[in-house]
Structure 1
């Protein structure tokens, strides 16, 4: 059995500029096909607009508010919102209040699958 405690996971900064704590991924569990992380974006800050060639992502907003942009379409996001980001979709999230959200990627998140401009 694998059981990881969020508070024991060290934070790191992804290529898009968000602060992530991996809950379950290839670095801390025998994960093959997905990853789950907690992301934080400070108030007034956007992530860098990017896309993933392979990974499909889900965001689930736990705290805060912001604006989600996917392929040029913008929508406000708040606690309880679930967001689908298809592979290849350009996306960016901006915090109007500090955001904390879960991010699930399949296949698992990797820096090598994050592309800009």
Structure 2
């Protein structure tokens, strides 16, 4: 197995704490990288993720398909293909897919994503 390569079709899809579908494309626990992780999140048409935050992790979201609304702290703004969003540690955030096709986001986390760093702030999709 080549730990420097993560083949897309070999990556299992899981459901994240926020309700999105996640493919963990590159993570230290599987691939040996050290300082960050990269995942693809999918939010289906009309779906919203749970409002949540990460105490330690800084995230970058990059939209690769679809359109939606980003909830980031007190802000709400439209997002579309090509947009990149900075999510500082401790900032509440969620996604709402407002488009008839799946919203796909590349999520880069530094330090690498850890489930125990995710705090759900609202148990109902917003």
TM-score range relative to shorter protein: over 0.9
How far apart, CA to CA, are the structure 1 residues paired with 2:8 and 2:40? 8
Structure 1 residue 7, shift from structure 2 partner: 1.5
Q: TM-score, normalised by structure 1?
A: 0.96
How far apart, CA to CA, are the structure 1 residues paired with 2:87 and 2:11? 25
Gaps of 5+ in 2: 122-126
Deviations along 1:50-92, one digit per CA (max 9) or x if unpaired, are 0000000000000000000111100000000000000000001
How far apart, CA to CA, are the structure 1 residues paired with 2:15 and 2:30? 17
How far apart, CA to CA, are the structure 2 residues paired with 1:49 and 1:70? 9
Gaps of 5+ in 1: none
1:99 aligned to 2:103?
Answer: yes
**SS state at 1:28 partner:** helix
Structure 1 residue 116, shift from structure 2 partner: 1.9
Match of 2:21 among 1, 19, 22: 19
Match of 2:72 among 70, 73, 84: 70
Match of 1:115 among 88, 96, 119: 119
How far apart, CA to CA, are the structure 2 residues paired with 1:22 and 1:70? 22
Match of 2:37 among 31, 35, 38: 35
Q: Report the number of matched residues.
A: 117
